[in-house]
Copies of this chain bind each other. A is one copy, B any other.
Amino acid sequence: MNIQPLFDYIKPLMDLTAEEEALLASKVTYRKYLKGQYVVQQGDICKYECFVISGCTKTFYLDTEGQEHVIMFAIENWWTADMGSFISQTPADYNVQCLENTELILFSYENLELLYKKIPKLERLFRQIVERAFVASQKRIVRNFSLSAKDRYLYFKNQYPQIEERIPQYLVASFLGITKEFLSKIKSQLATEN
């Protein structure tokens, strides 16, 4: 159990005393998942907000034809969950599955509420974290409208080279909202351009 990366992540955002860190550590769960395991399943209630210590997850949903659509990836120092399901404790719309062996820190709904009570400044911390997530989400909406598939791919490649390297191309295509065949075409175009 190595929770230190979480504290390293929090440090620049907010100072916690040793006692606060200890309390936090006592109210979260460290868990290892194997490649392929599900952290959240569509239809279940999302029980945890998850901080990624190591590994990689994808969040996706299955449409009415059973097609998979990737919404996001999460790697070291990112958060993942179905937040809609978590905050209202209603069935999840999305699945979160591990693409590699993955270590997570799990915040259960009850323990997170308890932590908010005992360490009120965590409300501030999580407010700030969600604010950033919201801003990033809105920017992604704008990119999806205003960039071509090629430019969306180039943006992804530049912003998240660590992700592109470690996941199959058809999942990148799904994340970008295009077919794997079209991504393949884009990449061969880019290759001949240079």
Contact = CB atoms under 8 A, between A and B. Distances in A.
Interface of A: 61, 63, 69, 71, 83-84, 87, 93, 116, 120-121, 123-124, 126-128, 130-135, 137-142, 144-146, 177
- Number of copies of this chain in the oligomer? 2
B144 A71 contact: no
B87 A135 contact: yes
Contacts of A141: 71, 137, 140-141, 144
Nearest to A127: B127
13 contacts: A61-B142, A69-B142, A83-B138, A120-B120, A120-B123, A123-B127, A124-B127, A126-B127, A127-B127, A130-B130, A137-B138, A144-B145, A144-B177
A63 B120 contact: no
Given A134-B83, A137-B138, A141-B140, A146 B69 contact: yes
